[in-house]
Amino acid sequence: MLVEVKMHRTPIKTSPSPDLSLVTKNLATKPMALSDSFGTSSPGQLLIEAGSTERQYWRDLWRYRELFYFLAWRDLLVRYKQTVVGVSWSFIRPLLTMIVLTVVFGKLGKMPSGGVPYPLLVFCGMLPWQFFSTAVTESGNSLVSNSNLISKVYFPRLVIIGSSVITSFVDFLISAAFLVVLMVWYHYAPPVAVLFLPLFVMLVFGASLGVGLWIAALMVEYRDFRFIVPFIVQFGLYISPVGFQSGVVPERFRLLYALNPMVGIIDGFRWCLLGARNGIYRPGILIAVIDVIVLVASGIWYFRKTEQTFADVI
């Protein structure tokens, strides 16, 4: 099928980027007749009526699925341009935070570690927390920083939030790789419960998406959230059990404490990765699951409700 390209007026450099490796091969397949390039994907009729919600929304979201990838790809490409150490920042940031938290809570605060090396304990908490905090920060700002897109071209705006969370998720994966190195370093094998890890990854993904949707939609109208978000993130680091185990919270406050979905999620991560001597606090997990479902559902509801006026308000 593939024919060698014999000659081309100006040779196009073969790109290092994986996306484009196909381009040079595909040069040979000549563009087909204009009409048949669409035939299959034609969506047919579109009817838009004042006051009615679009029934096509979810179909459109599917049609624009590649945009999730492209926007995330853009953000990742751009993020480390004109930096000296580049992607290494993904390691350096969590590493430094880990050291600081270990010193503050482990060494100075003398918090119990339950027999686990304190840096590991901290890192397992930081993994979901940093994902959550960057995702919320980035998706919160994403609509406003993409306002040029919103006012000039249509696509389901959910894509912007989704791709921001995906971008943060890539950082999460890089940090996770670092955790593997750390565990090898401490000769610490994860327990069988590690099989449940995907569940907690999904939970933290959902929590990030839900909160991100809320904040992004609110930010469009109330730029105050630009100041509120950093505060939430900073504050959240201390009210979530990132630098310590949630076991240090007195038993009678445990349930109240667990209302913060990150409590259940971080506990879950520790349980999966480090094991827990005295079992896992089950009500906390349940509450986290409910929290996340409520956050995502209400986030989508509010986002959809306000989305149609974004272009007018932003």
Partner 1 sequence: MSDAEAPSTTPAMPDPAITIENLGKRYTIGHQRANVDGLRHAIEGAIRNPLAWLRSSRQKKLQHVDFWALKDVSLQIQQGEVVGIIGRNGAGKSTLLKILSRITIPTEGRFRINGRTASLLEVGTGFHQELTGRENIFLNGAILGMTRAEIIRKFDEIVEFSGVEEFLDTPVKRYSSGMYVRLAFAVAAHLEPEILIVDEVLAVGDAAFQKKCLGKMGSFAQSGRTVLFVSHNMEAIRTLCQRCVWMKDGRLHKDGKADEIVEAYFNSISSEQSFSCSNPDYGLTIQKVVLRNDRGEESGQFRPGEDLIVEISYDAHKCIEKPIIALGVLGVNGSCFTSNMLLDGHRPDFLNGVGKITCTFRSIPLLPQNYTVKMIIRSANVKDLIVNYQEVAGFSVVGDLAEYGYKGEFLTFARHSTPVVVPYEWRFPDGTTAAVALNRPTALVADPRT
Q: Which of 7, 49, 84, 108 binds partner 1 (CB under 8 A)?
A: 49
Q: Which stretch binds partner 1 (CB under 8 A): 59-67, 128-136, 269-277, 279-287?
A: 59-67
Joined together, the tokens standing for residue 285 give 């997990």
Measured distance CA(136)–CA(141) in Å, rounded: 9
Measured distance CA(53)–CA(128) in Å, rounded: 35
Closer to partner 1 by Cβ: residue 3 or 19: 19
Measured distance CA(218)–CA(20) in Å, rounded: 38
Q: Which of 7, 84, 153, 256 binds partner 1 (CB under 8 A)?
A: 153
Closer to partner 1 by Cβ: residue 73 or 196: 73
Q: Which of 7, 274, 294 is nearest to 125 (CA)?
A: 274
Q: Is 313 in the site for partner 1 (CB under 8 A)?
A: yes
Closer to partner 1 by Cβ: residue 12 or 239: 12
Q: Is 17 in the site for partner 1 (CB under 8 A)?
A: yes
Cβ-contact 312, 166 below 8 angstroms:
no
Rounded least distance, CB 44 to partner 1, Å: 8
Task: Kindly tell me the sign of the dihedral angle through the C-alpha atoms of 263, 207, 77, 82.
Answer: negative
Closer to partner 1 by Cβ: residue 82 or 278: 82
Q: Which of 95, 103, 149, 194 binds partner 1 (CB under 8 A)?
A: 149
Rounded least distance, CB 276 to partner 1, Å: 41
Q: Which of 6, 13, 187, 252 binds partner 1 (CB under 8 A)?
A: 13
Q: Is 82 in the site for partner 1 (CB under 8 A)?
A: yes
Q: Is 50 in the site for partner 1 (CB under 8 A)?
A: yes
Measured distance CA(207)–CA(288) in Å, rounded: 9
Q: Which of 1, 18, 256, 312 binds partner 1 (CB under 8 A)?
A: 312
Q: Is 87 in the site for partner 1 (CB under 8 A)?
A: no
How crowded is residue 183: how many other Cβ atoms within 10 Å of its Cβ?
Answer: 18
Q: Which of 3, 29, 186, 230 binds partner 1 (CB under 8 A)?
A: 29
Q: 140: which residues sit within 8 A by CB, 6+ positions away?
A: 212, 215, 216, 219, 225, 226, 229
Would you call 51 exposed, middle or buried from its count of C-beta atoms within 10 A (0-12, 13-18, 19+)?
A: exposed
Q: Is 9 in the site for partner 1 (CB under 8 A)?
A: yes
Q: Which of 3, 20, 184, 297 binds partner 1 (CB under 8 A)?
A: 20
Q: Which of 222, 225, 210 is nearest to 302 (CA)?
A: 210
Joined together, the tokens standing for residue 280 give 């896992």
Q: Where in 199-258 is the site for partner 1 (CB under 8 A)?
A: 221-225
Q: Is 77 in the site for partner 1 (CB under 8 A)?
A: yes
Measured distance CA(4)–CA(27) in Å, rounded: 9
Measured distance CA(95)–CA(82) in Å, rounded: 22
Q: Is 305 in the site for partner 1 (CB under 8 A)?
A: no
Residues that bind partner 1 (CB under 8 A): 8-10, 12-13, 15, 17, 19-20, 22-23, 26-27, 29, 31, 34, 37-38, 41-51, 64, 66-67, 70, 73-74, 77-78, 81-82, 148-155, 221-225, 308-309, 311-313
